């Protein structure tokens, strides 16, 4: 997935590797294989649950390798797993230049952009006065 990081840092968060991540991935792989095997050996009524299990485990593996996750979560994906990833979220300054340019272009919050630019102007004036 090739996405623009500046736009997506408002919708997505990056997270660090965490202790026990290998075990987390191993459990996901084992559950994936078990559910994949189980879908062929269960009655037809349980196939949707098996497919949901395959979806959750494959998305969990994908997210754990990508280390990027949506703040709002994913369709039919347990919030409990999103909260595990949020515990290891990397801190991002939403008032840096790239974020402000993104917010200004998308007009999500012009007030924040104006306040930040006013603050920078006042700081530059103070620096010039002190010199």
Token pair 């595990």: residue: 84
Based on the domain organization, do 79 and 106 belong to the same domain? no
Percentage of residues in the chain having pLDDT higher than 70? 62
**What pLDDT is recorded for position 20?**
82
Based on the domain organization, do 25 and 76 belong to the same domain? yes
Residue 67 has φ and ψ, to the nearest 5°, of 60, 35
Based on the domain organization, do 62 and 108 belong to the same domain? no
Based on the domain organization, do 45 and 71 belong to the same domain? yes
Confidence at 2, pLDDT banded by 50, 70, 90: very low
Measure the CA–CA gap between 18 and 20, rounded to whole angstroms.
6
Residue 91 within a domain: no
Cut 0.95: pTM above it: no
When divided into structural domains, the chain yields a total of 2
Residue 92 within a domain: no
Residue 67 tokens read as 């280390």
Residue 17 within a domain: yes
Measure the CA–CA gap between 114 and 56, rounded to whole angstroms.
42
Token pair 């840096």: residue: 96
Q: pLDDT of 48-102, one tens digit each?
A: 888 898 899 999 899 888 888 887 778 889 888 888 888 888 776 666 666 666 5
Residue 126 within a domain: yes
**What pLDDT is recorded for position 30?**
93
Based on the domain organization, do 81 and 105 belong to the same domain? no
The parent domain of residue 107 ranges over 97-130
Based on the domain organization, do 25 and 70 belong to the same domain? yes
Mean pLDDT, residues 3-27: 73
**Of 26 and 73, the one with more pLDDT:** 26
């Amino acid at each position: 997935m090739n996405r623009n990081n500046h736009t997506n840092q408002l919708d997505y968060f990056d997270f660090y590797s965490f202790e026990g991540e290998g075990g987390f991935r191993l459990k996901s792989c084992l559950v994936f294989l078990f559910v994949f095997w189980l879908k062929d050996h269960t009655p037809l009524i349980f196939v949707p649950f098996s497919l949901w299990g395959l979806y959750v485990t494959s998305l969990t593996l994908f997210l754990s390798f990508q280390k990027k996750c949506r703040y709002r979560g994913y369709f039919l994906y347990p919030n409990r797993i999103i909260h595990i990833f949020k515990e290891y979220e990397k801190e991002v300054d939403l008032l840096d230049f790239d974020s402000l340019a993104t917010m200004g272009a998308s007009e999500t919050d012009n007030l924040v952009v104006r306040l930040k630019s006013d603050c920078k102007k006042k700081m530059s004036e103070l620096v010039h006065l002190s010199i």
